[in-house]
Amino acid sequence: MNNPDPTHGPNTRLSLALEGMITALEHGSNYLPTDTVEHTRTLLDRASERIAINSNHTVIALAGATGSGKSTLFNAFVGDLISEVGRLRPTTTTTTAAIWGNDPATELLDWLNIPNRHHVPPGTTTRINTPNLDGLILLDLPDFDSHRTEHREEADRILQLTDAFLWVTDPQKYADALIHTYLRRATDHTNISTVLLNQADRLTNEEQTACANDLQRLLHEDGLTNTHVLLTSTLTGQGLTELGHTVATTVATKTATRERLIGDLHHHARALREHVADTEPTLPENAPTNLINALAKTAGTPTILEAIDKDYRRRANATTAWPPLRWTQKLTPDPLKRLRLNAQRHPETTTAPPEEFNTLLNRTSLPAPTATAHAGVDLATRKLGETAITGLPRSWAYAIAAATHPAHDDLADALDQAILNVDLGQRRPIWWTIIGALQWAATIALATGMTWLLLLAGIGYLQLPAPATPTIGPIPLPTLLLATGALTSLLLTLLARTWTRIGAHRARTRAEKRLHTAIDDVARTRVITPVRDVLTAHRTTRENLDKILAS
């Protein structure tokens, strides 16, 4: 059994591997094969149980096919006829445990569910000439090629739990497919595995060398490049001393338990890693412009901006136009009110507090998106999805495809609510008040001058004595009031129209930016963030699986 020389000790490596696997499953289990995930979770439960057992014992299993001599080797270790041997096959029907040392390892053997236990007394003379095996639990397993199903199942069960392996074969069966099936499963446990070519006494020295070399070649093909082949014979004692030292070294290092669990984690990490790509596509922080534009059309942004422009002009005219004509603005409907977008401008129209007001306006009255608008969104999200799934395995790609195609109704509702919460910036500029006041002053001057002149005309018509009319220079005051009022009102109207046009454009631009921000938030929340969540889960899963495989 070959011991590795890692940078970190087994305890640190195991802790890192367990932490990495737990994190990988937390983030990636929804996108990885269900059966593989379940097997991995079973392993994590088993590892937790094994680590929790307060025992310094090392469990080593003798595993092999019928007639390979497992039980004879077991008895050679124990120094007594504990496991039955004979021609009748299968001889071993249940697992038998031999325990060395004063600690009976009751908790560990109960966890292994092995009732057949033999405590090897200190000082027992055995054919395995090893001075100290304290802490060893040696298991004699049923044959894994037994014709009895329960025997095979018992062997497989114990092989899932043991700390180290002694794979026993013989010159007749060493090339059989079944044992190599088991050996290929142990490629992550080469440092805790030893292959015994037993019954070597049946071969000549030349045949032993040839057979051992051929077995070593087969092990290389199985992936066990560092596994040692040891020739043994209980008849001649060949290799038994070396076998004893190998087992004693494994027991003394007290690392086999953790090395076994690390190997299991490597095996499962490798199986999971097949369903994870080597890298992830990079998404922009903000939503792509084509997606924003498509969502803007779906949300009815052009209609909103047109309504903002009209509303600004209507309200400006209602304040700055010539007062006698302002009533005509009441004949023009409020375009934002028609779309139910005037809540931000008139919060005083409800008694609800500001934070509850938008809830009262559950929906806007914007026109429903057209099929063309929906198609534009589908095209934009499809392009985003194609970018995000580049190089990813199928399950991850499916998750991203689902994330980039939220239901049209859900997306429409999110956009509608986002627009409801946008402050469209429809405030009352101070210049409206100033122009409006000046218009009233000009109108009053005009009306005063006109009334004064009409009175003078009436007095003249009635041939009554005319009162003295004040003048400013050569111009009579009523004439000056009329002319000044009319001219001022005209100039104010022209000025107001120019400023209204500029103000409407600014209001439209300001609202467009705020709507763009709101739509970008919806795009990030409903499309970009779900996609990024999948990619983040993929990256976290990949990094943790790689961390396990590097441990």
Could you tell me the CA-to-CA distances from 517 to 156, 286, 297, 403 in Å, in that order? 61, 10, 14, 21
User: 195 near 181, Cβ under 8 Å?
Assistant: no
Highest average pLDDT, of 37-41, 296-300, 404-408, comes from 37-41
Distance between CA atoms of residues 284 and 287, nearest Å: 7
Looking at residue 77, its amino acid is F
Residue-wise pLDDT tens digits, 137-155: 999 999 998 889 999 999 9
Residues paired with 442 in a beta bridge: none
DSSP state of 62: E
Higher-pLDDT residue of 282, 441? 441
Residue 281: half-sphere exposure toward Cβ, Cα within 13 Å: 19
- Return the residue matching tokens 């020739």: 231
Residue-wise pLDDT tens digits, 42-84: 999 999 999 999 889 999 999 999 999 999 999 999 887 665 5
Distance between CA atoms of residues 424 and 436, nearest Å: 24
DSSP state of 428: -
Instruction: Specify burial of residue 53 (Cβ count, 10 A radius: 0-12, 13-18, 19+).
Output: middle
Residue 335: the pLDDT is: 64
Distance between CA atoms of residues 138 and 413, nearest Å: 67
85 backbone dihedrals φ, ψ, rounded to 5°: -125, 155
Which residues does 245 contact at the CB level (< 8 Å), separation at least 6? 130
Looking at residue 9, its amino acid is G
Q: Is 129 left (phi over 0), alpha (psi -120 to 50) or beta?
A: beta
Residue 350: band (very low, low, confident or very high) from pLDDT cuts 50, 70, 90: very low
Residue 127: the pLDDT is: 80
- Return the residue matching tokens 């122009």: 435
Higher-pLDDT residue of 340, 393? 393
Could you tell me the CA-to-CA distances from 70 to 57, 66, 159, 471 in Å, in that order? 21, 9, 15, 135
Residue 178: the pLDDT is: 94
Q: What are the tokens at 403? A: 């994330």
Could you tell me the CA-to-CA distances from 72 to 98, 124, 129, 237, 302 in Å, in that order? 13, 17, 15, 12, 89
Q: What are the tokens at 103? A: 């600690």
Distance between CA atoms of residues 172 and 67, nearest Å: 10
Longest Cα pair distance anywhere in the chain, in angstroms? 159
Distance between CA atoms of residues 538 and 24, nearest Å: 9
Axis-axis angle for helices 205-222, 177-185 (nearest 10): 50
| For the chain, percent of residues with pLDDT exceeding 90 | 48
Residues paired with 119 in a beta bridge: 99
Residue-wise pLDDT tens digits, 325-349: 877 777 777 666 666 665 554 444 4
Residues paired with 59 in a beta bridge: 137
Residue-wise pLDDT tens digits, 436-479: 899 899 989 999 989 988 988 888 788 788 787 888 888 888 88
Complete domains list, the chain, with CATH? 57-253 (3.40.50.300), 289-550 (no CATH)
Looking at residue 476, its amino acid is P
Could you tell me the CA-to-CA distances from 447 to 170, 436, 444, 491 in Å, in that order? 125, 16, 5, 17
Residue 529: the pLDDT is: 84
What helix, strand, coil percent values describe the chain, rounded to 5? 60, 5, 30
| For the chain, percent of residues with pLDDT exceeding 70 | 86
Residue-wise pLDDT tens digits, 487-514: 998 999 899 999 989 988 988 888 888 8
